[in-house]
Amino acid sequence: MPDTPWPVGSHVPDPLVQPQYYEAVPLRRMAAYFVDVLIVGTVVVVVWVATGLLTIMTFGLAAPIQAAATAAVPLLYHSLLIGGPRSSTLGMRLFGLRVVNLIDESPRPSLVQALVMTVVFYVSVMVTGFVVLVVALFNPRRRTLHDWASGTVVMRLPPDGGGWA
């Protein structure tokens, strides 16, 4: 199976020539994010309880560890999965999405790109309350602010599921 699922020699299809890779991407991303929130939320609760017990046992000395570990969960979840071999979170996989690198000829984003994408997403959403995601409705590749900042694009997989390692 080829590493990139689209033809033409370029690793990113043109939205005007092959629009099927960009159709309904914003809606699918929202659904995928909902799934990811459920997964991350579950892990955060487990980490919070485990580190909370440690904090109690150390009479509050481990409280900074609890805060750092709890904050690290969503950062690690998104960054490691997007920067990993399948270039998508579990929610994205469920809805047939993949993050693609636009900076160089490698189809997969690097861990740095995934980290930038994750940090810019959380910061921009905290500042604007998800309004920043409207940007995706006004460009042909349906890119959001965090996609632009990280040099990535989120696309639908082809029907045959090609391109997954």
Read off the pTM. 0.86
Is the CB of residue 151 less than 8 Å from the CB of residue 102? yes
In a domain, 128, yes or no: yes
In a domain, 51, yes or no: yes
Q: Strand locations in 7-101, DSSP E?
A: 97-101
| Cross-strand partners of 148 | none
In a domain, 11, yes or no: no
Question: Considering its fold, how many domains does the chain have in total?
Answer: 1
In a domain, 16, yes or no: no
- C-alpha to C-alpha distance for 66 and 87, rounded to whole angstroms: 29
Is residue 41 pLDDT above 80, yes or no? yes
**The token pair that represents 79 in the structure block:** 């960054």
In a domain, 161, yes or no: no
Band of the pLDDT at 9, cuts 50, 70, 90? very low
Band of the pLDDT at 131, cuts 50, 70, 90? confident
Is the CB of residue 70 less than 8 Å from the CB of residue 62? no
In a domain, 13, yes or no: no
Q: Which domain holds residue 53?
A: 22-156
